[in-house]
Structure 1
Amino acid sequence: MTAYLGSEHWKPAVLQDLVLLQRGFDITKAQQKEGEIPVYSSSGLSSWHNEAKVEGPGIIIGRKGTLGSVHYSESDYWPHDTTLWSKSLNGNNPRFVYYALKCLGLEKFNVGGANPTLNRNHIHGLPIFLPGRNVQDTIVSILSAYDDLIETNRRRIALLEEAARLLYREWFVHFRFPGHEHVPLTDGLPEGWERFALSDLADFINGFAFKPAHLGDTGLPIVKIPELKQGVTEKTPRNDGEMVPEKYHLKDGDLLFSWSGTLAVNVWTSGPALLNQHLFHVVPRGRVSRGFLMCAIREALIAFENQTVGATMKHIRRSALDRVFVPLPDRAFMSPVKDTLTNTYDQLIVLHQQNQKLAQARDLLLPRLMNGEIAV
Structure 2
Amino acid sequence: MSDEQIRLGEIVAFSNGRSQASGKRAGKGPAYRTYGANGVIGASELFNAGAHATIIGRVGSYCGAVHYSPDRCWVTDNAIIATPKDGVNPRYVYYLLKRLDLNRYRIGSGQPLLTQGILSRLAVARTTRAEQDSAASVLAALDEKIAVNRRIAALADELVRARFEELAAASATTIRIERLGSLVRSNIQAARMHRDENYIALEHMPKRHMWLTSWTDSSAVISAKRRFAPGDVLFGKLRPYFHKVGLAFVDGVASTDILVVRPKQDAYRGWLLAALSSDGVVAHASAVGEGTRMPRAKWPDLAVHEVPWPDDARARVFNDFVKPLASRVEAAAAENMTLARLRDTLLQRLIP
Length-normalised TM-score, structure 2: 0.85
State yes or no: 1:276 paired with 2:272: no
Change (3 A) 1:318 1:27: farther
The question of whether the paired residues in 1 share the 8 Å contact of 2:167 and 2:310 is answered with no
Alignment of 1:298-317 (within 5 A): 298-299=277-278, 300-317=281-298
Change (3 A) 1:350 1:285: same
> 2: distance between equivalents of 1:329 and 1:108?
55
From 7, 12, 23, give the equivalent of 2:5. Answer: 12
Change (3 A) 1:240 1:111: closer
From 236, 251, 276, give the equivalent of 1:258. Answer: 236
> 2: distance between equivalents of 1:308 and 1:334?
28
Residue 24 of structure 2 corresponds to none
* 1:326 positional shift: 1.7
From 322, 346, 361, give the equivalent of 2:303. Answer: 322
Corresponding residue SS for 2:56: strand
Alignment of 1:134-153 (within 5 A): 134-153=130-149
Corresponding residue SS for 1:343: helix
State yes or no: 1:340 paired with 2:321: yes
The question of whether the paired residues in 2 share the 8 Å contact of 1:201 and 1:285 is answered with yes
From 207, 226, 231, give the equivalent of 2:214. Answer: 231
Aligned-residue sequence identity (percent) comes to 24
Alignment of 1:347-362 (within 5 A): 347-362=328-343
Residue 155 of structure 1 corresponds to 151
Question: How many residues are paired up?
Answer: 335
* 1:280 positional shift: 1.9
What CA deviation, in whole Å up to 9, does each residue of 1:132-156 have, x standing for no partner? 1111111111111111111111222
Letter in 2 for 1:16: G
> 1: distance between equivalents of 2:267 and 2:43?
36
Structure 1 portions without partners, runs of 5+: 1-6, 176-188, 372-376
Runs of 4+ residues deviating >4 angstroms? 206-211, 213-216
> 1: distance between equivalents of 2:215 and 2:314?
40
Corresponding residue SS for 2:288: coil
> 2: distance between equivalents of 1:34 and 1:210?
51
Corresponding residue SS for 1:292: helix
* 1:291 positional shift: 3.0
* 1:272 positional shift: 5.3
Length-normalised TM-score, structure 1: 0.80
> 2: distance between equivalents of 1:321 and 1:168?
19
> 2: distance between equivalents of 1:27 and 1:307?
37
* 1:68 positional shift: 0.5
State yes or no: 1:49 paired with 2:44: yes
Corresponding residue SS for 2:63: coil
The question of whether the paired residues in 2 share the 8 Å contact of 1:64 and 1:118 is answered with yes
Change (3 A) 1:291 1:95: farther
Alignment of 1:57-206 (within 5 A): 57-65=52-60, 66-172=62-168, 174-175=169-170, 190=172, 194-205=173-184
What CA deviation, in whole Å up to 9, does each residue of 1:324-348 have, x standing for no partner? 2222243234322221112222222
The question of whether the paired residues in 2 share the 8 Å contact of 1:164 and 1:341 is answered with yes
* 1:204 positional shift: 2.8
Structure 2 portions without partners, runs of 5+: 22-27, 207-212
Change (3 A) 1:255 1:122: same
> 2: distance between equivalents of 1:76 and 1:206?
48
